[in-house]
Amino acid sequence: MNKKIQLRDLGSKDYKSTWEYQEDLFKDIVDLKIKNRREELDLETPNYLLFVEHPHVYTLGKSGDLENLLLNEKQLEAKGATFYKINRGGDITYHGPGQIVGYPILDLENFFTDIHKYLRFLEESIILTLEEYGLKCGRSEGETGVWLDVGTPFARKICALGVRASRWVTMHGFALNVNVDLGYFDNIIPCGIRGKGVTSLQVELGVEKVDETEVKGKIVKHMTQLFEAEFV
């Protein structure tokens, strides 16, 4: 059982190449697990957490509705944005500069075999991080992610979640709005949820810019505690 998680900050990287990189890491872990089982080996499987910032891109989950994208191809091009239909859960979301995207590629058999618990732990790592900035956040029943003012007309999402798992190996992950341009969310129905807003840490704190490196450090700290992991 390997509880070490390799932390890799990719900086700014386009969505397609990052997706392919995720797929490669994911496949390597799955293949190793199959080999272990077939040959009765006990080789340790690795775990990763990728941090990345994407250029403007909209992604639609496998069960998502394309009508939740409110732009056509020419309008996407005019906004300097790309679009991908991908193999994670969830509906449509936006990634862009000023947003911390985290892709945990974990063999959950190194930690626990419970996808529901995994999602809750990802949410909790963000909730605890935002509490350090004085924000009271929580979950909205039936909707993944992290929200402010849940249960009120002012409910707004600050972090989206969407994952894929196979053979207890995960990919995709979370997107935390830190200094992101929220105007790009006007071009979609975020996560397919109507009537609820989207916000960012920068907006909620009323500051010019939030230190994203500091935020990443807090996320890692809370994931370390929740997953009882060691980041290397």
92 is in an annotated binding site: yes
DSSP-based three-state secondary structure for 5: strand
- Whether residue 137 lies in the annotated active site: no
User: Domain tally for the chain?
Assistant: 1
Distance CA 94, CA 138 (A): 21
90 is in an annotated binding site: yes
Share of the chain above pLDDT 70, in %: 97
Q: What DSSP letter does each residue of 183-214 carry, written as one string?
A: GGGGGB-GGG-TT-EE--HHHHHT-S---HHH
The pLDDT, as a whole number, for residue 151 is 86
DSSP-based three-state secondary structure for 159: strand
CATH of the domain at 53: 3.30.930.10
Distance CA 137, CA 149 (A): 7
CA 55 to chain centre: 15
pLDDT, tens digit, 9 for 90 and up, residues 38-57: 999 999 999 999 999 999 99
pLDDT, tens digit, 9 for 90 and up, residues 183-218: 999 888 755 455 568 999 999 999 999 999 999 999
Q: What DSSP letter does each residue of 43-103 carry, written as one string?
A: PPPP-EEEEEEPSSEEEE-TT--GGGB---HHHHHHTT-EEEE-SSSSSEEEE-TTEEEEE
pLDDT, tens digit, 9 for 90 and up, residues 64-103: 888 888 888 899 889 899 999 888 877 888 999 999 999 9
93 is in an annotated binding site: yes
The pLDDT, as a whole number, for residue 199 is 96
The catalytic residue among 29, 191, 198, 215 is 191
C-alpha separations of 196 from 107, 151, 153, 199, 221 in Å: 34, 11, 8, 10, 30
CA angle 201, 206, 209 (to 5 degrees): 65
Any bridge partners for residue 198, and if so which? Answer: 157
Domain membership of residue 16 as a residue range? 4-231
102 is in an annotated binding site: no
174 is in an annotated binding site: yes
Distance CA 50, CA 111 (A): 18
